[in-house]
Structure 1
Amino acid sequence: MSEAFDIYTLLFLVLAVVIFIRLRNVLGRRTGNERQPFDPYATPDQKRPQPPKTNEPVVALPRGRSAPLPEAAGPSVEDIEARLGSHAPKDSPLARSLTQLMRVDPSFDPGQFLDGAKTAYEMIVMSFAEGDEASLKQLLGTEVFEGFESAIRERETRGEKVESNLIGINKTDIIESDVKNRTAYVTVKFVSELISVTRDAEGEVVEGDPKKVREVTDIWTFARDITSKNPNWKLVATESAN
């Protein structure tokens, strides 16, 4: 492991180096086809759809907005423009929202954040395929973890196993950011290529194709309490664009 990791990459490696080393040994594994969304924020009298029986669950992020925190003493205009770079067109809504985030959280850097997000993506999808709930709990928000946990348990009950091979992550882009009360949200679009197949207890293929490479687009939202000393970001919402 290089000592030159930037701060955001380190944040997404969780607190346990042992977990990271074990996960890196099997990086490249991916879950299967994407799931239909369900709303974990529905009121009790609303009927909540059950998570699908296989593959990666999807959890929606609530879209209500709150007034952002007052801006802190942060980077200069020149520094902000340099950090934005090619991540957001100048004067675009995304550039303005990222600028707001950098003013209330001066340590935020879009490029470094994306490096960490890619690492987190690989770790999370691999942990889900392996059924590694302990690792997932460190990386996911409560609602997302509950969805992943439910899907893993259902898969195990049916005796199914997921065999996945992540060929590569072709593209990662920040597509949205926001600050609600004390929490910063950053949404990332991942475009990856993978081979995935689900087998039943007898080893027969029930979903996917072991010889077919698929392009998958995932939209994930990460969140962090910017007033907390805990620097870790967690996955709080998932969506599939496929």
Structure 2
Amino acid sequence: MIAAFLILRLRNTLGRRTGHEQEHPRTRLGGLGTKPSEASDERGDNIIDLPARDGVRRDDRPEDDMPPAEDASPLEQGLYAIRKADPNFDRRTFADGARGAYEMIVNAFAAGDRDTLRPLLAEKVFGSFSAAIDAREAAKQTQETTLVGIKQAEIVEAELTDSKVAEVTVKFVSSMISATKDSEGRVIAGDPNDVNTLTEIWTFARDTRSRDPNWELIATRSAH
């Protein structure tokens, strides 16, 4: 299964930026977690505006700006710290955008589309993805993946690092059909007729001091 394979390849991927990553051109993930009205006026046509699912604007939810209680969970404390560093951040919009990020990355990996993956992934993660694609191509194998649906995209961790990098971790539960075929078109792994439920934990990061609205996938891990 493609998702399981990704987890195995990326289990040891480092989870934070080193400060040496290059900023990438804006992509369809630009503004992830940002209200459409607050996205940069300079953004290109490739950026999808991602309104909150319930149609409620952040300004209508004053609880987002209220300091957490002393006994608040690390998640709530982390989200508040990110909001303080980036007033445009909105948790509901981020969760919606993360769904789109998940779908783009899974589909691009299955298709071997490095051009789509490169601006969406941190350098180390892209290297792992690219190596897996290289191995598949060398073996003359193809990956066929259908993302049937995303059942859940829940923010489970949030942190603002000392270097002001926002890191938000999302638990994805998805239904997926995946099969790997050899050069003759024979199925050698997976099942093109079997729908599997997969649970994955992905962490996205963005430097809150940067004007670039892009978030990158910096780590994945198993839910177990």
Q: CA deviation at 1:209?
A: 1.2
1:133 to 1:105, Cα distance in 2 relative to 1, 3 A: same
Cα offsets for 1:17-75 (capped at 9, x unmatched): xxxxxxxxxxxxx93533455xxxxxxxxxxxxx4xxxxx4453448xxxxxxxxxxxx
Identify unmatched segments of 5+ residues in structure 2. 17-57
**Corresponding residue number in structure 2 for 1:240:** 222
Equivalent residue for 2:137? 156
Match of 1:48 in 2: none
Q: 1:214 aligns with which of 193, 196, 199?
A: 196
Which among 131, 145, 148 is matched to residue 126 of structure 2?
145
The SS at the match of 2:2 is coil
Q: Is the CA contact (8 Å cut-off) linking 2:143 and 2:179 kept in structure 1? A: yes
1:155–1:205 distance in 2 versus 1, CA, 3 Å: same
CA contact (8 A) 1:189 1:220 kept: yes
- For residue 18 of structure 1, what is the aligned residue in structure 2? none
Mapped to 2, the partners of 1:83 and 1:199 lie a distance apart of 51
Aligned to 2:50: none
**Cα distance change on mapping 1:114 and 1:36 into 2, 3 Å:** closer
* Match among 182, 186, 203 for residue 204 of structure 1: 186
8 Å CA contact 1:197, 1:209 repeated in 2: yes
User: CA, structure 1 residues 80+94, in 2 after alignment: closer, same or farther (shift >3 Å)?
Assistant: farther
Q: How many aligned residue pairs are there?
A: 178
Which residue, 67, 77, 84 being the options, matches 1:103?
Answer: 84
CA contact (8 A) 1:170 1:191 kept: yes
Q: Does residue 146 of structure 2 align to residue 178 of structure 1?
A: no
Distance 1:142 1:157 in 2: 22
Whether 1:118 aligns to 2:71 is no
**Structure 1 132/113 Cα, relative in aligned 2: closer, same or farther at 3 Å?**
same
What is the CA–CA distance in structure 2 between the aligned matches of 1:114 and 1:137, rounded to whole Å?
22
Structure 1 segment 1-242 matched on structure 2, within 5 A: 31=2, 33-37=4-8, 51=9, 57-62=10-15, 79=61, 81-82=63-64, 91-180=72-161, 181-241=163-223
Percent identity between matched residues is: 44
Letter in 2 for 1:203: G
